[in-house]
Amino acid sequence: MPSVLITGSNGLLGQKLVYLLRERNAQSKNRYQIIACSRGINRITQKEGYTYLNLDITDSQAVSKVFTTYKPDVVINTAAITNVDQCETEPEACDAVNIHAVNYQIQALEKLQYDNPGYNPHFIHLSTDFVFDGQAGPYSESDQPNPISYYGHSKYKAELLVQQSKLNWAVVRTIIVYGVVDNLSRSNLVLWAKEALEKEQIIKVINDQYRAPTLAEDLAEGCMLIAEKKAQGIFNISSSKTYSILELVYLVAEYWNLNKELIQIVSSSTLNQPAKRPPRTGFVIDKAVNVLGFKPKTFKEGLALIDQQLNELNKKH
């Protein structure tokens, strides 16, 4: 039975991956050994069907110990400092998680590979559209990165470490991930806009940045397609259509019938955020569609799924 180890399993993608693998196992019994790792206690509501380990990936010895114990066939590294402004203001913390900890994982797997002939782990690493400067989106996998924020630089440096490793590797680039799970440490565009508008709060929304939103379930599926097809190289995983952030928030307001007049249109420069953002990203996803059979949902289909999931969560609580 192949084993899949997920770092950052308390995060949005991490939780969705654990749920997706549990589903895969339910459909065809015991297909995967699932090892979910994150800092601190397990925040995933469902506790069965997988092993949870408290693993801070900045602890190189702990990483090596866990990898040596479990010898995972697949490692999906979702853990990261994903707050772009925090990376700008806390560069050392950003480097520790987004760069050095990636290196610890690579080194631990390379050593295991060297010591155990025939062991060929697949390292699947999550990256971002922020490796680009946003002057010429949508981007394909072969376009040249040119990050303009500390976060973007950190993720690009990690990409290069992965690409230079001796492992079977894949880099998964994605763009504003949205979705709902229990106990998230940070919100996302859809939930933020929905919750604020429901409380009748005025929100400032930018109309000069363009993104292709990514449903967390689609991203998890994209990662597992890569694992199952043992695919290597860089893959763009997002929806296929690029919108302005304003258009996305309008669509959220329309879907839940919320008051659009609360939306105050602003330009990025008025927000005075510490980190620069690329104005226009978006991805060409032909490679994922053709090589992996990736079929992302539209933004409206994604909102419908979130609506259904929120209703189910409300019934439980």
Ligand X SMILES: NC(=O)c1ccc[n+]([C@@H]2O[C@H](COP(=O)([O-])OP(=O)(O)OC[C@H]3O[C@@H](n4cnc5c(N)ncnc54)[C@H](OP(=O)(O)O)[C@@H]3O)[C@@H](O)[C@H]2O)c1
By CB under 6 A, name the binding residues for ligand X.
7-8, 10-14, 38-40, 56-58, 78-82, 97, 126, 128, 174-177, 185-186
**Of 171 and 258, which has the nearer Cβ to ligand X?**
171
C-beta separation of 180 from 206 below 8 A: no
User: CA angle, 142 as apex, 140 and 144 as ends, to 5°?
Assistant: 100
Q: How far is the CB of 29 from ligand X (least distance, A)?
A: 28
Q: How far is CA 46 from CA 16, 51, 86, in A?
A: 11, 12, 30
Q: Which residues pair with 37 in a beta bridge?
A: 7, 53
Nearer to ligand X by Cβ, of 184 and 262: the residue is 184
Q: Tell me the closest approach of the beta carbon of residue 36 to ligand X, in angstroms.
A: 11
Rounded to 5°, the CA angle 215-219-220 comes to: 115
Instruction: Please check whether residue 39 is in contact with residue 70, taking contact to mean a CB–CB distance below 8 angstroms.
Output: no
Closest approach of ligand X to the CB of residue 287, in Å: 17
Determine the Cα–Cα distance for residues 308 and 69; give it in Å rounded to an integer: 39
The answer to whether 96 and 58 are in contact (CB under 8 A) is: yes
- Which CB, 36 or 258, lies closer to ligand X? 36
Q: How far is the CB of 118 from ligand X (least distance, A)?
A: 29
Q: CB-wise, 121 or 179, nearer to ligand X?
A: 179
Nearest-CB residue for ligand X: 11
For the bound state, the minimum distance from the C-beta of residue 183 to ligand X, rounded and expressed in Å, comes to 9
**Beta carbons within 10 angstroms of residue 254's beta carbon:** 12
Evaluate whether 14 touches 78 at the Cβ level (below 8 Å). yes
* Least Cβ distance, residue 241 to ligand X (angstroms): 16
Instruction: Rank residues 176 and 215 by Cβ distance to ligand X and give the closer one.
Output: 176
Count the Cβ atoms, other than its own, within 10 Å of residue 291.
14
**Cα separation, 228 vs 257, whole angstroms:** 40
Would strands 33-38 and 51-54 be described as parallel, antiparallel, or unpaired? parallel
Q: Which two tokens stand for residue 155?
A: 């993720």
How far apart are CB 66 and ligand X at their closest, in Å? 11
CB of 236 to ligand X, least distance (A): 11
Least distance (Å) between residue 158 CB and ligand X: 9
Cβ closest to ligand X, residue 38 vs residue 244: 38
Q: Which is nearer to ligand X, 56 or 307 (CB)?
A: 56
CB-wise, 32 or 283, nearer to ligand X? Answer: 283
CB nearer to ligand X: give 53 or 246: 53
- CB count within 10 Å of CB 312 equals 10
**Whole-angstrom distance, CA of residue 259 vs CA of residue 302:** 20
Neighbours of 237 (CB within 10 A): 26
Where residue 49 falls (left for φ over 0; alpha for ψ -120 to 50; beta otherwise) is: left
